[in-house]
Homo-oligomer: A and B are copies of this chain.
Amino acid sequence: MAFADRLNKVETSAIRELFKLLGQPGIISFAGGFPDSALFDVEGISEASHKALNTQPGAALQYGATEGFEPLRESLARFMAGKGAGEVAASDLIVTTGSQQALDLLGKTLIGPGDKVIVEGPTFLATIQCFRLYGAELVSAPIDGDGVQTDRLEQLMVEHKPKFVYLIPTFGNPSGAMLSAERRKRILELAVAHNTIIVEDDPYGDLYFDAPPPPSLLALSAQVPGSRDLLVHCGSLSKVLSPGLRIGWMIGPAELLAKATMCKQFSDAHTSTFAQATAAHYLQAGHMPATLEKVRKVYAGRAQAMGDALRRELGSAVSFVQPQGGLFVWARLTGAGGSLQDGHVYARQAIAQGVAFVPGAPFYCSQPDPATFRLSFATASEEKILEGVSRLARAL
């Protein structure tokens, strides 16, 4: 069978192979990118779905507008405004089938074969593959504990003239890093100076632990004239409420949203109105603040437990920045005392000890750092985390 050439651009075996081993009994998994399903507000979602089918069954089960179910667009606009994003109208956003679809629509709308796109190194694996399917040539901008390095980013923007820059500024996957307030503002200035679109992917921003992160690029764009017209913001209910609903959204310039809507029409017509009406009723019922408070508290405890255990048990053999939110610890094998420095080898040894995580190299679109690896603290209890980290120590 002769497949389209674009498929040759994509490589998915790296992590998939490892995931096959996860089914073994007794494995403690730090490998997933999932929220903990024990935290889902099943009662609230059930009540919302009940209301959706009782009050407007026709609308909830019929075809709907490609842009999204109007009551949900309004609820999401209020949700964003409540997070300090300033004035957001329902018409400033479209609903997407998870934020993965927002990435796909950005690819379909903006990327032609050979176009350059700058992403963080490391960045979300499915972003790399998604953009490459549209022919993107990805350029990697280095990060540190404060997020992407803006000086290097500017050099790369000048050198590569990218179609856009894709960032996960807040508690990103896999880095967990939090972009500093200063760098956020600088990035908006770079967008204007180089007339370049910035995509802010923000599925984790609500999952902060002690203190809220700096304002989103979207919120800050009010302070940098011209930057809002170059900014795309992607949001999602997947990490804070439920991934199974597949509800994401994209805020952006009207012209871009119009093209993305046209593309979405031919991708899936619209996002499930059943799921959209359920999400709309959930948000309208005012459950979100309590839900966020609950998940933040649980993840904060787990992140602390993992960080403490890693420092205690692995000591100088790994380095990492203690996360201030999100789901991930991004760590690096230092090679201290002549120990292992390859994340992939370490992952195989860890599986043998009954603990799983994901090696870091595949998260780079180029120049991978093979000593890195990603640990998720989201789905294991604190007790399991302690046991898992002990196994990590043994594996080393």
Contact = CB atoms under 8 A, between A and B. Distances in A.
Contacts of A384: none
A12, A108, A268 — most chain B CB neighbours (10 Å): A268
A385 B111 CA distance: 46
Given A246-B270, A256-B1, A61 B34 contact: no
A255 interface: yes
A133 interface: yes
Interface string A34-64: 1101101010011001100110011111111
Contacts of A61: 37, 40, 42, 45, 242-245
Contacts of A40: 57-58, 61-62
Given A61-B243, A63-B243, A112 B53 contact: no
Interface stretch (A3-11, A311-319, A326-334): A3-11
Contact of A244 (B108, B242, B265, B274): B274
B37 A243 contact: no
B37 A109 contact: no
Interface in A154-168: 163
A358 to B, nearest CB: 15
A104 interface: yes
Contacts of A274: 45, 49, 242, 244-246, 272, 274-275, 278
B265 A62 contact: no
A38 B61 CA distance: 10
A349 interface: no
A55 to B, nearest CB: 11
A34 B62 contact: yes
A202 B136 CA distance: 34
29 contacts: A1-B197, A34-B62, A35-B62, A37-B58, A37-B62, A38-B58, A40-B57, A40-B62, A42-B53, A45-B274, A50-B50, A60-B244, A61-B244, A62-B242, A62-B244, A63-B243, A98-B269, A100-B269, A103-B266, A104-B266, A126-B265, A126-B266, A242-B274, A244-B273, A245-B274, A246-B271, A246-B274, A267-B267, A272-B275
Contacts of A278: 274
Given A4-B109, A109-B3, A274-B242, A268 B101 contact: yes
Interface size class of A (residues with CB under 8 A): 35 or more
Quickly give the copy total for this chain.
2
A108 B129 CA distance: 13
A336 to B, nearest CB: 36
7 closest cross-chain pairs (CB), A and B: A244-B273, A37-B58, A130-B266, A61-B242, A61-B244, A97-B268, A42-B57
Interface in A87-139: 97-98, 100-101, 103-104, 108-112, 115, 126, 129-130, 133-134
A246 B262 contact: no
A2 interface: yes
A59 B53 CA distance: 21
Interface string A244-287: 11100000010110010011011111111111011000000000
A115 B4 CA distance: 9
Nearest to A267: B104
Contacts of A266: 10, 100, 103-104, 126, 129-130, 133
A237 B275 CA distance: 16
A272 B245 contact: yes
Given A61-B244, A242-B61, A244-B63, A267 B101 contact: yes
A196 to B, nearest CB: 11
Contacts of A255: 1
Contacts of A238: 63
